[in-house]
Structure 1
Amino acid sequence: MAREPLRILQVMRAPVGGLFRHVADLTRALSARGHEVGLVVDTLTNDTQTEGRLAALEPLAALGIHRFPMPRLFGKGDVTTPFAISKLARRLKIDVLHGHGAKGGFYARLIRYGSSKAIAFYTPHGGVLHFPASSASGRLFHQLEKMLMAKTAAIIFESAYAQKTYAGLIAAPTCPTEVIHNGLAPEEFEPVQPVDDAADFVFVGELRALKGIFPLAEAMACLHRADGRPVRLVMAGDGPERAALEHRLASLGIADTVQLVGSQPARKVFAMGRCAVVPSLAESLPYVVLEAAAARLPVISTKVGGIPEIFGPTAASLVPANDAEALAGAMQAFLDKPDAAASEMLRRLEHIRAGFSLAVMTDAIEALYYRSLGNAQG
């Protein structure tokens, strides 16, 4: 039986990183299914890259892109913006409010205390989980989370890890919850062919300590080939600790074998190496692991966050975080036995293809919207 298209307002603060990637993917997919989607974003976080990203989504946002002040922590916008979004939701006759991240989830659910008839969903994307309970802001955000559960149709977690962490840090949710993994578009499953002079390894991510760049440098210094040829690494990305990384590479004597190429599209960078390395110290459900595996690169990664869920039947090959020796062992194994790594890659690919597609993700979120609306009306 055909169902009426929905009018959906997605609320987030800063359109950057994996959170915005998820919102953009969901906007495209829901729009393609006939739903009308609008976006609410921050006026305080604005640069050239942000404008380009939003401009690309504008043709698909039938209900428009709306901007209101959303301070990262707390400020005047936290008083005025919920009223403005509530008024917007009523004017646009919104059925579904979907808040992304701590601040987006705060606004989407807070306006349910007003006269809005829309039901509210919340995807943390790490967000509030990054605020420790020992900090004043953390205690306040966690208390707000408990209060807002009463106005939440469902919390959507992008990983079972996030669901477990939320319950342990804040409280077991009193509202419905569902784990719905992020997904990739069909074209992202097309294999990437390595360039002729591809390096052995490739890293894509921010150049900061949390991404494991320093254990990666230490591991690289331990690698060798039987024929004496140098082991090479391409690192794509930028960040606050680039200078410190360059200094460390020089002190280890490997500056000539590690190439820093700056921020570039992931699939372009994947072609520059034969194996992706994701040595993060902490993650939620990183797109880069999904993207590299879908592009048919062997992936060496740390056992953090939701990465074991992505690795599925190959999770035993994950290495401990912040352990340069273990990371070096996994990288050396790839150099010594590339065929075994390729075989593992194919097993991982089938797991990701089955459970981490954009179609699977959208099916699950769309079904949850309709089911929750039916429960609210019933």
Structure 2
Amino acid sequence: MAGDSLRILQVLRAPVGGLFRHVADLTRALAAKGHSVGVVVDSMANDAQTEGLLRALEADAVLGIHRLPMPRLFGRADLKTPFAVSALAQKLKIDILHGHGAKGGFYARLAAYGRGKAKVFYTPHGGVLHFPADKASGRLFHRIERLLMSKTSAIIFESRYAEKTYSALIGAPTCRSAVIHNGLRPEEFVPVEPVQGAADFVFVGELRDLKGIFPLVEALSRVSRPDGLPADLVMAGDGPDRAALEARLAELGIAEKVKLVGSRPAREVFAMGRNAVVPSLAESLPYVVMEAAAARLPVISTQVGGIGEIFGPTADSLIPAGNVEALSQAMTNILADPAGAQREMLTRLAHIEAGFSVAHMAQSIEALYLDPQKPAV
């Protein structure tokens, strides 16, 4: 390592979703700080979308984007890929190996065997936490986690919720651990102005039961504006329960009050509504809650996963998951008192600006890289 300039290899499996967004944001921020970064991804996840995302990252990943076979579950490649990652790390003279997700963490830590120089970091991102302890696959992954702790310089959790869940399933980390929240880019804090005729509410997410779409539309059917007219909703996204959702809207008689606009960029959709609703039945640390709040939308959400950490001083307004009555009341209240909703939004925004920016995330992770024993920023 030359001074404080590090040579870093980020290891993950599929370059999609929130996990890849985190790695991409971290790679760009670390590159801007003068570090040299490379990325290892699954060679089998190479559709048009992933290729486009990886090409966009090439300029900041100066140590290259490397593709190696990484099966989702166990496969033959699991016997070879750790050696390939180790050889790559030696060739690139890597100082820091950082594995993301169950497979990325598995490969990064196995690759460190025999390499005394490199520090090894691991961020679960849910990953291994999704494997239940009452199934053989879960027990195997959890046992591997315990064995690999001795090769881990630090485990970085994206939320206190993830840290708590990890400790309950696997055991308290025997290595250093830190909670460092995911963050938003500066442009995501630019206010979004609602378009003319914006709906009362907007939902952005996958159209599946786990996202709370059915309690949402049932709650909407009970909500009226202060002038007595029924409230309306824009829903963006697609998913396996779209047909069932459309059938439910027809049953409730509110199909004309709900506009399904398909998958679109979140900020584009935020402009279509005045208030965001995130009624999920389960989550980890969803970006959409941070994004909506940063765009200056009041947000109604459920008390699941790490959402309370995002809401911070406004967490008392979170509602129980799947509770239609509580959701409809929260939606009615926000329409009845828009000034109060704006005040709460500004309080939440200040909390997110302070602790949920890419700059804060990257600074905290960089500090751990440089000194794993030093408390996180």
Instruction: Give 3-state SS (helix, strand or coil) of 1:134's partner.
Output: coil
Q: Which residue of 2 aligns with 1:48?
A: 48
Counterpart of 2:346?
A: 346
Matched, 1:230 2:230: yes
Matched with 2:261 is 261
Partner letter of residue 166 of structure 1? Y
Please name the residue that 1:173 is paired with. Answer: 173
Quote the residue 1:330 is aligned against.
330
User: For 1:46, what is the secondary structure of its paired residue?
Assistant: coil
1:86 and 2:86 matched: yes
Asked if residue 7 in structure 1 is aligned to residue 7 in structure 2, the reply is yes
How far did residue 227 of structure 1 move? 2.8
Residue in 2 that maps onto 1:309: 309
Partner of 2:276: 276
2:155 is paired with a residue whose SS is strand
Opposite residue 198 of structure 1, the aligned amino acid is A
- Tell me which moved more, 342-351 or 216-225: 216-225
Question: Identity of paired residues, percent?
Answer: 72
Aligned equivalents of 2:16, 2:218: Cα separation in 1: 30
- Equivalent position of 1:136 in the other structure: 136
Q: For 2:307 and 2:226, locate their aligned partners in 1 and report how far apart those are by CA, in whole Å.
A: 32
Unaligned regions of 5+ residues in structure 1, if any? Answer: none
CA drift of 1:115 comes to 3.5
Aligned to 1:251: 251
How far residue 332 of structure 1 moved from its aligned partner, in angstroms, is: 0.9
Q: Per the alignment, do residues 329 and 3 of structure 1 end up closer, same or farther by CA in structure 2, a change over 3 Å counting?
A: farther
Amino acid at match of 2:301: S
C-alpha distance in structure 2 between counterparts of 1:351 and 1:95, whole Å: 34
Structure 2 vs 1, CA of residues 116 and 51 (structure 1 numbering), >3 Å: closer, same or farther? farther
Query: How many Å apart are 1:159 and its aligned residue?
Result: 0.6
Q: How far did 1:116 drift?
A: 6.1
Equivalent residue number for residue 121 of structure 1: 121
Tell me if 1:109 matches 2:104.
no
Q: Is the 8 A contact 2:219 2:328 kept in 1?
A: yes
Q: Does 1:197 align with 2:166?
A: no
Residues 89, 116 of structure 1: 8 Å contact kept? no
SS in structure 2 at match of 1:104: helix
Q: Report the alpha carbon displacement of residue 108 of structure 1 after superposing the two structures with TM.
A: 0.6
CA–CA separation in structure 1 for the residues paired with 2:226 and 2:96: 60
Q: What is the CA distance between 1:111 and its match in structure 2?
A: 1.2
Structure 1: distance between partners of 2:372 and 2:195: 48
Letter in 1 for 2:183: G
1:177-204 per-residue CA deviation (whole Å, 9 max, x = no partner) reads: 0000111111111100000111110111
Residue 106 of structure 1 aligns to a residue in which SS?
A: helix
- Contact 1:86 1:116 (8 Å CA) reproduced: no
Change over 3 Å in CA distance of 1:194–1:373 after alignment to 2: same
What is the letter of the counterpart of residue 322 of structure 1?
G
Q: Distance in 2 between matches of 1:327 and 1:193?
A: 25
Cα distance, 1:225 vs structure 2: 2.5
Q: CA RMSD in A?
A: 1.5
* Local SS of the residue matching 2:255: coil
The offset of 1:241, in angstroms, is 1.3
Displaced runs of 4 or more, over 4 A: none
Partner of 1:372: helix, strand, or coil? Answer: coil
Q: TM-score, normalised by structure 2?
A: 0.97
Mean CA deviation greater in 2-11 or 250-259? 2-11
Equivalences, count:
374
Q: Which runs of 5+ in 2 are unaligned?
A: none
Residue 315 of structure 1 aligns to a residue whose secondary structure is: helix
Q: Quote the Cα distance in structure 1 between the aligned partners of 2:147 and 2:330.
A: 45
- What's the TM-score, normalizing by structure 1? 0.96
The one-letter amino acid of 2:96's match is V
Are the counterparts in 2 of residues 152 and 175 from structure 1 also a CA contact under 8 Å?
Answer: yes
Who is 2:19 aligned against? 19
